[in-house]
Amino acid sequence: MQHTNIIQTEPSGLSLQSLLQKEIKNILKKEVGNTDAMYLYGTGTYWVAFENSAYQLCQQCEEVELTPFFFDDYPFPVLMASISYFALEDKTISDRMTLTVPKLNQRRYNVWHRKVIKQYEDVFQS
């Protein structure tokens, strides 16, 4: 299977850094009321999702990597899920994708978020 439709003008790490610097506030605002969508952002060879969308991505795919972030304007750690561009069946030329997903169970999301953050507590306290 050929994958020639990736748009990549800079390395994935730089693309992610740019996304975080320019758009994280709007991304997190969108996630606050998000209960039935998974918002994915292309960063070269990876798709990333934040908070509720990160949870939804973890429910849909096994090969997801989680990373916590701290932002000055946000009161708690933000979880980002990332997955290889090639791991998703739905390939797109765009650097944004919105997928409809089952309605978010807020209680399960909260338990998941706390559990993941707890795994990183030692790192946070260093």
User: Is 47's pLDDT higher than 60?
Assistant: yes
Query: How many degrees, rounded to 5, is the angle at CA 109 between CA 22 and CA 88?
Result: 60
The residue range of the domain holding 42 is: 12-125
34 within some domain: yes
- Could you give the number of structural domains in the chain? 1
2 within some domain: no
**Would you state the pLDDT for residue 6?**
45
The pLDDT-based confidence of 106 (bands split at 50, 70, 90) is: very high
6 within some domain: no
**Would you state the pLDDT for residue 44?**
84
82 within some domain: yes
Over residues 77-100, the pLDDT tens digits come to: 999 999 998 887 665 667 899 999
Query: How many degrees, rounded to 5, is the angle at CA 82 between CA 38 and CA 55?
Result: 45
How far is residue 50's CA from residue 54's CA, in Å, rounded to a whole number?
A: 5
104 within some domain: yes
**Would you state the pLDDT for residue 49?**
98
1 within some domain: no
How far is residue 54's CA from residue 78's CA, in Å, rounded to a whole number?
A: 10
61 within some domain: yes
**Would you state the pLDDT for residue 89?**
67
The residue among 117, 43, 111 whose CA lies nearest residue 79 is 117
User: Is 122's pLDDT higher than 80?
Assistant: no
Contacts of 84 (CB under 8 A, 6+ apart): 45, 46, 47, 63
pTM, whole model, 2 decimals? 0.85
How far is residue 59's CA from residue 54's CA, in Å, rounded to a whole number?
A: 9
4 within some domain: no
**What average pLDDT does this structure show over 33-52?**
94
